[in-house]
Amino acid sequence: MKSNSQGKSRFKTVFVCQQCGKESPKWLGRCPDCQAWNSFVETKVSSFPVSSRPYPNGTKAEELSRVQKGNLPRFNVGFAEVNRVLGGGLVPGSLVLVGGEPGIGKSTLLLQISAMMARSNRIVAYISGEESISQVKLRSERLGIGGKGIYFLPEADLAAVLEYLRGLSPGLAIIDSIQTMYLEDVAGMPGSISQVRECTWRLERWAKQNNVPLLITGHVTKEGAIAGPGTLEHIVDVVLYFEGEQFSNYRVLRSAKNRFGSTNEVGIFQMSDRGLIEVDNPSQVFLSAYRDETSGSVVVPTLEGNRPLLVEIQALTTSNSFTPPRRVANGVDFSRLLLIIAVLIKRAGLKLFNQDIIVNVTGGLRINEPAVDLGIALAIASSFRDAKPISGLVAVGEVGLNGELRGVSQVERRIAEAIRLGFKSCLMPRLKSRSSFDFTDIRLLQIGSVSEAVRLGLTREGKKESARAETTEQE
Ligand code: TYD
Ligand code: MG
């Protein structure tokens, strides 16, 4: 009972929601903020939160107009794709969180970045609470990394980590992962909201005080957030998500928050047997297996961040009169798919109610923008009618509930990319201003509705067959 004899306890007890981090003085069955059930856990927290202590170097306020606009220095991390996503390189003193599912390649990415930073004569501290030195050595050998200038510390006690960093004074530090780190003076298991939050705060302070960039990895929860939504994202400067579908080699690095740049940039990588390789010409890679002689397959010029990227949407419809029809969406939003099917049934007269429908984005990409709607609609219609799209076609446009087509952003860049890859026609919503477009290498098929798209975008030859198929079904 040593601590009690020192007067006021260093800890107070609160209940913390393990989903969103909400604190409450008493236990609650359901979190009023994120609505999670049974998520409150009794947690001892320090009565003197480190976060509320002022910076020791006494910061002064300055009138904004007098502040000189300095150029933020940036470190080149060796991957052009990562530099771009960071907004032009790694800012000294910044705390960058790299989130992703286990096994997606976070440690691989950070080890490769470490090697490239070490090559430019920076000392790198690589702290892992997950892997032993022999495991990391194995990985580095596989990646062809000698390891000169990279100091590896297998340690999860953050106080010891900070002590070590003080002694080493590296030019870059890596913490893999934040969920394995713990502080003795903070209650809760490693990975709990209180531990993760407090550890991140202390790392943030270390990075700022020493002006050293710090990259930390974080595992995402089932809901796709790092350690409960909103607990870490507001502490760190940059949040990057490393994503990819299972069984696909492609990885996308996306920024969800960036205090030093836009969140519109993405980096595209391929996981090889020798680590991550940047993909310079993603459209070409994602279309490498595309053949335009099959039905159910449509190419869409999407935007990944600010970058145009052609992807192939595949759909397969099969009749199913016995069970309720199934709909499967891989790489596109499921509710968006349901909306598009409803529009095709109601506004384009396609009898899809007894069809199982599977939609897939090839290459394991995830496309979130509504500009892909028309491509999905056309791929479904193409499979259902067994009529392939007209030769050399791309399709883009957002679909509304009335079957109308809506405009999409940056249509010029999308079309330019389609031309670059040799496509001949673009099915798209009507343009408001004609003058700005001067594309001679591609035929712009401007239409107003989904039913027009089905009429104009598909070849007719398949129709006879599908009519025959439909009649055999009815028999
Ligand atoms: P890893 O970086 O350990 O993932 P994370 O840190 O996000 O959990 O990557 C693990 C996966 O990557 C593993 O399944 C093997 C694969 N991998 C390769 O395909 N090639 C490689 O060169 C390396 C190092 C890993
Ligand atoms: Mg890892």
Burial degree of 252 (CB within 10 A; 0-12, 13-18, 19+): buried
Which residue is closest in CA terms to ligand 1's atom 18?
A: 273
Provide the β-strand partners of residue 393: 425
Q: Please tell me if the CB atom of residue 142 comes closer than 6 angstroms to any atom of ligand 1.
A: yes
> What distances in angstroms separate CA 71 from CA 74, 91, 265, one per listed residue?
9, 11, 21
- In the DSSP assignment, the letter for residue 230 is T
Radius of gyration of the chain (CA): 27
The pLDDT of residue 288 is: 76
Closest-lying ligand to the alpha carbon of 129? 2
CB contact at 8 A, 121 and 261 = no
Instruction: State in Å: Cα 80 to ligand 2 middle.
Output: 22
Distance 109 CA to ligand 2 centre (A): 9
Distance (Å) from CA 400 to ligand 1 centroid: 41
Contacts of 240 (CB under 8 A, 6+ apart): 85, 86, 96, 97, 98, 99, 253, 254, 255, 256
pLDDT of residue 5: 44
Kindly give the distance from the C-alpha atom of residue 136 to the centroid of ligand 2, in angstroms, as a whole number. 10
Neighbours of 187 (CB within 10 A): 20
Q: For ligand 1, say whether the CB of 271 is within 6 Å of any of its atoms.
A: yes
Cα–Cα distance measured from residue 46 to residue 111, given in angstroms and rounded to the nearest whole number:
34
Written as one letter, the residue type at 309 is L
**Residue 245 exposed, middle or buried by CB count within 10 Å (0-12, 13-18, 19+):** middle
Closest CA to 202 of 216, 219, 220, 188: 216
Q: In angstroms, rounded to a whole number, what is the distance separating the alpha carbons of residues 360 and 113? A: 32
Strands 425-429 and 393-395: parallel
Give 181 Cα–ligand 1 centroid separation in angstroms: 21
Which atom of ligand 1 is closest in space to residue 143's alpha carbon? 22
Q: Between helices 450-457 and 334-347, what is the axis angle to 10°?
A: 80
User: Looking at residue 431, what is its pLDDT?
Assistant: 87
**Proximal ligand: closest to the CA of 130:** 2
User: Whose alpha carbon is nearest atom 14 of ligand 1?
Assistant: 103
Say yes or no: CB of residue 105 within 6 Å of ligand 1. Answer: yes
What pLDDT does residue 280 have?
83
What integer pLDDT is reported at residue 397 of this predicted model? Answer: 97
Please indicate whether residue 102, judged by its CB atom, sits closer than 6 Å to ligand 1. Answer: yes
Residue by residue, pLDDT tens for the chain (475 residues) are 444 444 456 677 888 887 777 888 899 999 898 888 888 888 776 665 555 455 555 668 888 888 777 677 899 999 999 999 999 999 999 999 999 988 899 999 999 999 999 999 999 999 999 999 999 999 999 999 999 999 999 999 999 999 999 999 999 999 998 999 999 988 888 888 888 989 999 999 999 999 999 999 998 866 666 665 467 888 899 999 998 876 778 898 988 899 998 887 889 999 999 999 999 888 887 787 788 778 999 999 999 877 889 999 999 999 998 899 999 999 899 999 999 999 999 999 999 999 999 999 987 788 889 999 999 999 999 999 999 999 999 999 999 999 999 999 999 999 999 999 999 999 999 988 765 667 788 999 999 999 999 999 999 765 444 444 444 444 3
Our answer on whether the CB atom of 143 is closer than 6 Å to any ligand 1 atom is yes
Atom of ligand 1 nearest to the CA of 275: 22
Distance 470 CA to ligand 2 centre (A): 52
Residue 168, ligand 1, Cβ within 6 A: no
